[in-house]
Amino acid sequence: MTLAKLQAQAKQGDLRAIASLIDDCLTPHGMRAQVRLHQGLLSVSVHAPTPRHRQRCVSAIRELLSKLRIPTVARVRILGKNRDRSVIWSEEFALSKGTYMRNGATRGRRRRTSHPNGTLSAPRTTVNRRSASTGSQKRRSRNSKLQKDPWLAVNLSALFPGLGQIYASKIFRGLGIILIEAVLIAVAVASFFSPEGNTLTSLGLIFPIFGIYLVNIIDAHRCFKTLSFLRLERVLKNKRNKNNPWVAVFLSQLLPGLGHLYLKNFGLGAVLMISLILASNIARLHPGWLLVPPLLYAIACYHAYFSCPRSALHSQDPIVMIVILIVAFKLTGILIPAWVEHDFVQRFTIPSDSMIPTLRAGDQILALKARGRPPQKGDLVVFRAPEFARTLDPNAGDLFIKRTIGMPLDVLRLKDGIIYINNEPLSEDYVAGPAQYNFDPQIVPADSYFVLGDNRNNSFDSHVWGYVPRNHIIGKAYKIYWPPDRIGPLR
């Protein structure tokens, strides 16, 4: 069919002729289009790989339709998307005076002006009587959001509250959420570890911390509500694409394997879940395995993303960034507690009543690691049992907690229930009762300590097995953090 005949049929409203002409003008630019005409609105769906293609597409269609002057077409709406579906945009213009035109997600009344050759010039925009610059800024802002996926915001917020809002250009909201969450976490940590802090306060803060986390994830998605992303997601979907890859990544963040179940890959999903359980249990026994669970999360997220149909995939860069952040945050959440417990604070459970009334069996305590700091007189110290103590009672355990009584080179003597240190009586208001045994004056060896239990007459301590070498001391107990009725600092 000749070009003249096609143009004649197009002017009569023949949709096939219009589609053929639009295809002909887009083919030189490497683009194809689908056309629909309804009540004077001509909808053109086109794949535009780059912003440069978008400009060429809009210009070519405008020029063609302005020359044809089809009576049945009053408005034109161009819906464009990249072939990888990572960017979608819309452009709307009128072919008759006084109609509304939209560019991207913005709306405004635009007037058509014509050049002598009949082509349309760039329209002048007025949005709600505001200045053109304000409207342009809004269009740029909303168009930048239009290219973003709300489920990617959800994935970022799942890593730490507020990151998704920042990605959605809600900077102050995101920073506010980050600040609130960080303050709550800091207060919870301080309440747990500080001597005067109440562990119940720390536990109570778990609920608002977790609540803000959940609300933040929902809010990260709702930041895109004004852009009608439900409609945009429906546009992105087709018969070959029924799954959003970022949903699969989000589910894999919750638990490796869930994303693959969402994609109906049940075998690999089950393998990933079982692998995580095994790796987590092994990591408890062998610290060298601590890196394995975060890597499983990262592998599951990366594989779930690329398990979606190719037509659903976005640019590769965001998933690489997400995987790196997942490893970083997971490692931080695992290694910082392990580092704190290894170098600073360690938890212990009291096994016996040898420290009554200060400590009872079942009390859970925190001990500050020694880290080269020698204990002071009166400190409650946790230490490894000396060899002679293990020889006397193999069932006594590997770790003891007692009170430091004698420092290196002190002269000690116990008579009539009173301890004398360098001939000075020691005032003790923490003991359950006076000792019913005596020992003659003795000098504490250098780099060693003399320790006794507060329950003097029922304690397996230095008066039985001797002195504690300095290198056996682990740290100083400073707080009971459980049970609730026993929470408090140790004196």
Q: Domain check: are 363 and 317 in the same one?
A: no
Q: Domain check: are 208 and 291 in the same one?
A: yes
* C-alpha distances out from residue 261 to 153, 307, 451, Å: 22, 11, 59
Q: Domain check: are 125 and 187 in the same one?
A: no
pLDDT given for residue 83 in this prediction: 58
Q: Going by C-beta distance under 8 Å and a sequence separation of 6 or more, which residues neighbour residue 355?
A: 380, 401, 402, 403, 453, 454, 455, 459
Q: Domain check: are 24 and 97 in the same one?
A: yes
For position 365, which CATH number holds?
Answer: 2.10.109.10
- Catalytic member of 145, 330, 402, 476: 402
> Distance between CA atoms of 89 and 85, rounded to whole angstroms?
10
The pairing of strands 100-103 and 448-452 is: unpaired
Dihedral sign computed on CA atoms, order 117, 122, 127, 132: negative
Q: Domain check: are 174 and 272 in the same one?
A: yes
> Distance between CA atoms of 201 and 360, rounded to whole angstroms?
23
> Distance between CA atoms of 10 and 120, rounded to whole angstroms?
19
pLDDT given for residue 278 in this prediction: 94
Q: Domain check: are 278 and 422 in the same one?
A: no
pLDDT given for residue 74 in this prediction: 83
- Catalytic member of 90, 191, 352, 354: 354
> Distance between CA atoms of 314 and 335, rounded to whole angstroms?
32
Per the structure block, which two tokens stand in for 183? 């303050």
Number of domains in the chain: 3
Per the structure block, which two tokens stand in for 287? 């610290």
> Distance between CA atoms of 246 and 319, rounded to whole angstroms?
9
Active-site residue 427, yes or no?
no
Specify whether the CB–CB gap between 42 and 35 falls below 8 A. Answer: yes
> Distance between CA atoms of 56 and 91, rounded to whole angstroms?
12
> Distance between CA atoms of 132 and 127, rounded to whole angstroms?
7
In tens, the pLDDT along 254-267 reads 999 999 999 999 99
Specify whether the CB–CB gap between 117 and 106 falls below 8 A. Answer: no
- Residues 266-301: b if buried by 16+ CB within 10 A, e if exposed: eebbeebbebbeebeeebeeeeeebbbbbbbbbbbb
Q: Domain check: are 120 and 207 in the same one?
A: no
> To the nearest whole percent, how much of the chain has pLDDT over 70?
82
The pairing of strands 75-81 and 41-47 is: parallel
- Give the residue numbers spanning the domain of 276: 150-343
Q: Which amino acid is at 339?
A: W
Specify whether the CB–CB gap between 262 and 248 falls below 8 A. Answer: yes
Q: Domain check: are 138 and 16 in the same one?
A: yes
DSSP alpha helix (H) spans, 147-205: 150-159, 163-167, 171-193, 199-204
Q: Domain check: are 178 and 202 in the same one?
A: yes
Active-site residue 369, yes or no?
no
* C-alpha distances out from residue 302 to 152, 249, 308, Å: 13, 7, 11
The residue out of 117, 143, 169 marking a domain boundary is: 143
Closest CA to 323 of 389, 390, 369, 256: 256
The residue out of 343, 360, 377 marking a domain boundary is: 343
> Distance between CA atoms of 64 and 57, rounded to whole angstroms?
11
The residue out of 119, 143, 167 marking a domain boundary is: 143
Q: Domain check: are 113 and 213 in the same one?
A: no
**What residue ranges of the chain have pLDDT lower than 50?**
97-137, 139-146, 226-241
> Distance between CA atoms of 48 and 34, rounded to whole angstroms?
13
Q: Domain check: are 337 and 358 in the same one?
A: no
**In the 8-state DSSP scheme, what is residue 374?**
P
Q: Domain check: are 356 and 394 in the same one?
A: yes
